[in-house]
């Protein structure tokens, strides 16, 4: 099987090394040899430490889609649109198989690409787009196909998980740990796609589509990043028996499918709480299989190339089906369950002036919005100065919490916007 690769960065280079370094093993598993015959990259002359003898370079990536000596195109350019999207469309229209690691493109254009692939009768596979080396797409689409999924949730971004882990272990705040992560290469110079939750939300859109039988609906995801999580919040969470994780959660409800990506407090003994550092972890709750936990490296040359090559082996063996598990022609965007209808317990931290009557004003705001307080913590006193008040609520609706916190934020004694972190019942 002859391959054309577009993009020779970290993942593209890793894919070439894997295909060449394990050629005999992969041939045995694929039933035929899998060879790179052509490539396209931004700088063809750059030294990459790869053996590219015999590999034809194409300046225009779209040439890979038209080349008669290419059976499958591997798109590793990235980006939701532009050349990457044009290449995938052109390759599918030319009747070529496509493997991609591009979660942004699929989250925004996956429905149309799935229809095109199925109309042309060719595979479009994307195991590498979600959680690197964890075979979660195959697990959902095949291994758990007999299950009606109730909920899928997980840690979908290693950069954010690394930052939160380091903040907890060292007591340092977000900005300092982010700078360290950038120095180590775990975070980009512009980290916004990671720390603001966009990368993980793209992945959640794909997981939800497969789990609940719909088209990806990125627009229906509530997204919050980790910029506002402080070392103080992490320390309070630890004292209360929790850890803070950035979780993507997709859950079936009576109103539709709830999709949200935000910091959560989870019990220390929960399986997802044990996933640390740059690792990803995903939990699927099926009606037959129960809780199935997946954990592994979510990024990097080796893990992601492993997923790319696994898809190529499936194509070589003829093992593929509908892009999102069921025929795309019958799929519709997932019906969103409004976040305001979500109910759960909440952690709230307030920075207030330490003076008489403040607690009564706070309690009145919660009472006015029918929110019940489970516990309250104030460590020490400092009359006339700013102190932290931490409380845990009983289960309350999202709209009630927002109303209460908006009222509290307007109080004269409150020195900064209230911090709220949802407590996820796992």
Dist. CA 185–CA 342, nearest whole Å: 37
Can you give 329-362 as a three-state secondary structure string? Answer: HHCCECCECCHHHCEEEEEEEEEEECCCCHHHHH
Dist. CA 21–CA 40, nearest whole Å: 20
Which residues is 57 bridged to in the sheet?
Answer: 39
Dist. CA 23–CA 251, nearest whole Å: 41
Nearest residue to 387 (alpha-carbon basis) of 415, 417, 419: 415
DSSP secondary structure code for residue 28 in this structure: H
How open is the CA angle 258-260-262, to the nearest 5 degrees? 155
- Residues 9/40, Cβ–Cβ less than 8 Å: no
Dist. CA 27–CA 384, nearest whole Å: 74
64 SS3 class:
helix
Dist. CA 202–CA 180, nearest whole Å: 25
Q: Which residue has 């595979």 as its token pair?
A: 123
306 is written with which tokens?
């492993």
- Residues 216/111, Cβ–Cβ less than 8 Å: yes
219 SS3 class:
helix
Catalytic residue among 96, 103, 203, 245: 203
Can you give 37-51 as a three-state secondary structure string? Answer: EEEECCCCCCCCCCC
DSSP secondary structure code for residue 79 in this structure: S
203 is annotated as an active-site residue: yes
Q: Which residue has 């997709």 as its token pair?
A: 250
Dist. CA 198–CA 104, nearest whole Å: 9
Q: What's the start-to-end Cα distance of the chain, in Å?
A: 44
Cβ neighbourhood burial of 330 (10 Å; 0-12, 13-18, 19+)? exposed
Q: Which residues are catalytic?
A: 203
């Amino acid at each position: 099987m002859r391959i054309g690769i577009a993009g020779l960065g970290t993942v593209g280079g890793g894919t070439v090394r894997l295909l060449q370094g394990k050629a005999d093993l992969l041939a045995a598993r694929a039933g035929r040899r899998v060879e790179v015959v052509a490539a396209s990259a931004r700088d063809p002359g750059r030294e990459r430490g790869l053996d590219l003898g015999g590999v034809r370079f194409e300046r225009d990536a779209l040439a890979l889609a038209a080349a008669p000596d290419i059976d499958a195109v591997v798109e590793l350019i990235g980006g939701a649109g532009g050349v990457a999207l044009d290449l995938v469309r052109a390759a599918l229209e030319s009747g070529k198989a496509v493997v991609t690691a591009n979660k942004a493109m699929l989250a925004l254009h996956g429905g149309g690409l799935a229809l095109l692939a199925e109309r042309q009768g060719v595979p479009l596979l994307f195991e590498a787009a979600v959680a690197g080396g964890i075979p979660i797409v195959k697990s959902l689409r095949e291994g758990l196909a007999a299950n009606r999924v109730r909920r899928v949730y997980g840690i979908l971004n290693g950069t954010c998980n690394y930052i939160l882990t380091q903040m907890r272990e060292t007591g340092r705040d977000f900005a300092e740990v982010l700078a360290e992560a950038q120095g180590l290469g775990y975070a980009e110079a512009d980290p916004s796609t990671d720390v603001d939750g966009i990368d993980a939300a793209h992945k959640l859109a794909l997981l939800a589509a497969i789990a609940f039988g719909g088209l990806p609906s990125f627009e229906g995801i509530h997204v919050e990043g980790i910029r506002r999580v402080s070392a103080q919040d992490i320390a309070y969470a630890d004292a209360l028996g929790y850890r803070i994780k950035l979780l993507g959660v997709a859950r079936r409800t009576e109103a539709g499918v709830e999709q949200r990506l935000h910091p959560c407090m989870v019990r220390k003994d929960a399986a997802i709480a044990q996933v640390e550092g740059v690792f990803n972890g995903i939990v699927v709750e099926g009606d037959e299989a129960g809780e199935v936990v997946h954990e592994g490296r979510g990024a990097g040359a080796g893990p992601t190339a492993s997923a790319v090559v696994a898809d190529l082996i499936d194509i070589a063996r003829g093992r593929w089906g509908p892009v999102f598990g069921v025929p795309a022609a019958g799929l519709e965007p997932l019906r969103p369950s409004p976040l305001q209808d979500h109910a759960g317990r909440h952690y709230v931290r307030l920075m207030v002036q330490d003076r008489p009557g403040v607690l009564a004003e706070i309690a009145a705001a919660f009472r006015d919005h029918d929110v019940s307080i489970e516990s309250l913590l104030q460590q020490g006193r400092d009359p006339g100065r700013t102190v932290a008040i931490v409380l845990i609520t009983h289960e309350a609706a999202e709209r009630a919490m927002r109303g209460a916190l908006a009222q509290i934020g307007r109080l004269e004694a409150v020195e900064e916007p209230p911090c709220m972190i949802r407590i996820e019942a796992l």
